[in-house]
Amino acid sequence: MGYKKTVLFGASALFVLFSMPVMADAKADLARAEEIVAGRCFLCHGLEGESASAVFPRLAGQHSEYIAKQLSDFKSGKRKSDTMKPQAEELTPPEMKALGTFFENKTAKPRAAKDAELLAVGKFVFNRGNQFSGLPACSSCHGAKGYGTPMLPRLAGQHPRYIEDQLKQFNKRERTNDNAVMHTIASKLSELETHAVAEYIATLD
């Protein structure tokens, strides 16, 4: 075996060797996340993050970083929730991260369209906003498909009821742990626009 091949072989062996603990840790974290989901999260959010009720958010496909941040905020009280605070209180940062990764890897499914005229209004608001009220397009931050970013939530496929509830909380300043821009945006939405955009978001895939 030539010198270069020996060096390459040695480097590859070292890479595999040092990667093994990382892989083992990742598997352990995933196993712990599955244990937590099966023990408590599934009651509201479902085993696959599909959500058991429109009151609770779908977590499937949500950004792992965003989920971990929300859990941390629930734990600290920065985001108020009598339901989530006791669920998050005993979670460690690694467990929050693992739960985020677990749900992010699940497949999010869109909701079937029902009212074509209402969806048309929602699509317009989502993509273009309302220049007369100064409402910006939702897509300007959350993306044309509602996929969001690690710091901004994925909206695509979310329950309409949950979206409406959160917009109302932003409007009343009851939710303050996320981007304060949402307070202004929510205040500019009419009741019809809120309902329509929530219905449209649910159909995004």
Task: Record the tokens describing residue 117, joined without a space.
Answer: 């005229």
Which residue bears the tokens 């909701």? 111
What pTM was estimated for this model as a whole? Answer: 0.86
Helix then strand then coil, % of the chain, to nearest 5: 60, 0, 40
Q: Tens-of-pLDDT digits for all 205 residues of the chain?
A: 554 555 445 556 555 555 555 455 677 799 999 999 999 999 999 999 999 899 999 999 999 999 999 999 999 999 999 999 999 999 999 999 999 999 999 998 898 888 999 999 999 999 999 999 999 999 999 999 999 999 999 999 999 999 999 999 999 999 999 888 999 999 999 999 999 999 999 999 9
